[in-house]
Chains A and B, each alone.
Chain A
Amino acid sequence: MTAPHDKPNDGGVPVPVTPAGASSGAPAEHPPSSPAGRGMFGNQGSGDVSGYGGLVRPRRSVESAARPFGGYFDEVHDALEEAYPGFADAIEKVVVDRGELTLHVRPERIAEVCQVMRDDLALRFELCSSVSGVDYLGADERRLHVVYQLTSMTYRRRVRLETAVPAENPHLPSVTAVYPTADWQEREAYDMFGIVFDGHPNLTRILMPDDWEGHPQRKDYPLGGVPVEYKGAEIPPPDRRRSYQ
């Protein structure tokens, strides 16, 4: 698989390009607090009537959970540790929150971990329920996270695997060889976040048009602000919309 940033104009995988209007209206670029004298209401300096005030909140970093994790989480953790020799290297963090277990996995190890999770008799996560991306812009150096929700039908358990890659080098192995169902979901994550899954059989856009520029679900991609091809009309980004002030 050719990396898009290696060969920008080689056809095939579209190049991640900043879309028109992407430099404005982004959460990260809005000032974090309101100017004095305006109280706590309203969004200043913007005619946005969508209700989007551009608030930016610092994210708390998630802390590793301490043993015992409770429930079946210890069993899953230990079974994976036993079955997978590279456990100490591959698992960065174990988080238990709201009754859900999250294993933070090093991105280059994700396919191996999935293979063990699926095949080991004590784990048996036969179904990969969901693969999706989350963009933690400004909160994490490796801002693009990929989240895998695995389901064990045998033991009726759920586990979440999470990996993080930087936006400059958004590469990680595809899990399609282990879970063929990840095919379209990885394509969606590529389409929406620009995450490149190496080894995917056909990593192309799936929901957006093939010639679309940019990755819409990234946090620095604005809502609106994209020219629409209808009688020359254009929808301005929220902060340039008609002002009612």
Chain B
Amino acid sequence: MTTSNYATERETTEGKVFTVTGGDWDTVVSGTDPINDERIVVNMGPQHPSTHGVLRLILELEGETVREARSVIGYLHTGIEKNLEYRNWVQGSTFVTRMDYLSPLFNETAYSLAVEKLLGISDDVTERATTIRVLMMELNRISSHLVWLATTGMELGAINMMLYGFREREYILEIFELVTGLRMNHAYVRPGGVAQDVPDDAIIKIREFLKLMPKRLKEYEDLLSGQPIWIERTKKVAVLDVTGCLALGVTGPVLRSAGLAWDLRKTMPYCGYETYEFDVPTHTDGDVWGRYLVRLAEIRESLKLVEQAVDRLAKPGPVMVADRKIAWPAQLAIGVDGMGNSLEHVAKIMGQSMESLIHHFKLVTEGFRVPPGQVYVGIESPRGELGVHAVSDGGTRPYRVHYREPSFINLQALPAMAEGGLIADVIAGGASLDPVMGGCDR
């Protein structure tokens, strides 16, 4: 502002001195509004604590209102699908477990179901192996929803919710460690069954968890459900109705919070889910609040499923298919550094049985052959339909494996949720989709 109206100038011995009065009031009263007439493009991420991993959002703002939102992904792309083509079918489970790192057991189970379908051994998978898969998946669903609750709580201002959520998740990770030897990246569910049986310690720990968790869930509800800030930040925020969900392919809790009870465990059952007793919680508002209630209710349903699965485990049985051409030949045991080959078994095949050694060697180095063809298997992961499209050319390695990742698909709905809303609601809306970038980018 150099016009004399605003800054009169006079010469002094020190030099020129300006006296500034008023401001740019002329422009304000003349009808231009620098706040609302100017669109600001804001880049959020990829390293923003509220974007759930390396997700980048480009927001075009008009004041506080989001006019356009675009998401940029790919920062966590690790080429897992390409890498799978260079490893044998059993090794695949060690790769896919790393995709969606909050629900590794779902990735493994979907992959194993697809390979089993290709092999034509879906009916040979033992009852016990299937029960263990259900047990582990439902525990995993609880831990995944807990992380969702924890991170969303943190993002909307409830830091204590984050601490509680991760505390209970830790309990589940300890169960996983007891069963699989690892907290994450288990490679526990394998084509043909599971790597090893559930130890007795784990059963005790799971039963303790089943007693503890309902009380804790009550605490979360006491903490959040009546909380005015929580209600303000979630109710009528980031609404997406059933039509929007279906058009954009959104499944899982987001679709169920809009009112459609579409849960593959009920509608297209796999792993014997039709023999378990549980409900599919829904809500009708289609907002963040509804998604919160649906996820909380799903934790309760998963607890029911875990209880039923644990009861069924009382009956012993094999956990791997009987076919020696497919079943991993090793006996596994948990050592000090995680799960590995049982030393007793190694001593036996090295010392006593040449045939076992040859067989072991061939199966481990070369792997089994899978008849050519393609299959698609979809299961209900904590985020929606997790689909595996697996193609075999008749060899020992996958010809192509594609994951239909619910994080990837659901994230497309973010602009539909965010545009027209406030910038603060982008965080709530994005969090309510529960995207895991490891799965999204693969």
Contacts and interface: CB of A to CB of B under 8 A. Distances in A.
Given A98-B120, A153-B267, A184-B408, A130 B389 contact: yes
B124 to A, nearest CB: 14
A82 interface: no
Contacts of A180: 247-249, 412
Contacts, number: 120
Contacts of A217: 81-82, 400
Interface residues of A, number: 47
Main secondary structure of the interface of B (DSSP, over half): mixed
Contacts of B91: 51
B259 interface: no
Interface stretch (A13-21, A30-38, A52-60, A105-113): A52-60
Contacts of A206: 73-74
Interface stretch (B183-191, B233-241, B339-347, B373-381): B373-381
A59 to B, nearest CB: 5
B372 interface: yes
Nearest to A212: B74
A39 to B, nearest CB: 13
Interface in A112-170: 126-130, 132-135, 139, 147, 149, 151, 153, 156, 158, 160
A126 B247 CA distance: 8
Given A153-B267, A180-B248, A60 B375 contact: no
Q: Specify which of A151, A223, A238 lies most central, judged by the most chain B CB atoms within 10 Å of its CB.
A: A151
Contacts of B249: 127-129, 179-181
A100 interface: yes
B246 interface: yes
Contacts of B373: 62, 97-98
A112 to B, nearest CB: 19
Contacts of B77: 207-208
Contacts of B85: 223
B359 to A, nearest CB: 15
B402 A130 contact: yes
Interface in B79-102: 79, 81-83, 85-88, 91
B395 interface: yes
B404 interface: yes
A127 B246 contact: yes
A104 B193 CA distance: 33
A41 B366 CA distance: 9
B111 interface: no
A59 B400 contact: no
B441 interface: yes
B136 interface: no
A213 interface: no
27 contacts: A51-B87, A60-B394, A98-B117, A98-B120, A98-B373, A126-B246, A128-B249, A129-B378, A129-B385, A134-B402, A135-B400, A147-B402, A149-B376, A149-B404, A153-B246, A158-B378, A160-B374, A160-B376, A180-B248, A181-B250, A184-B409, A184-B412, A188-B408, A206-B73, A206-B74, A207-B73, A207-B442
The 8 closest A-B pairs by CB, nearest first: A181-B249, A130-B404, A132-B402, A207-B74, A207-B77, A52-B86, A180-B247, A134-B400
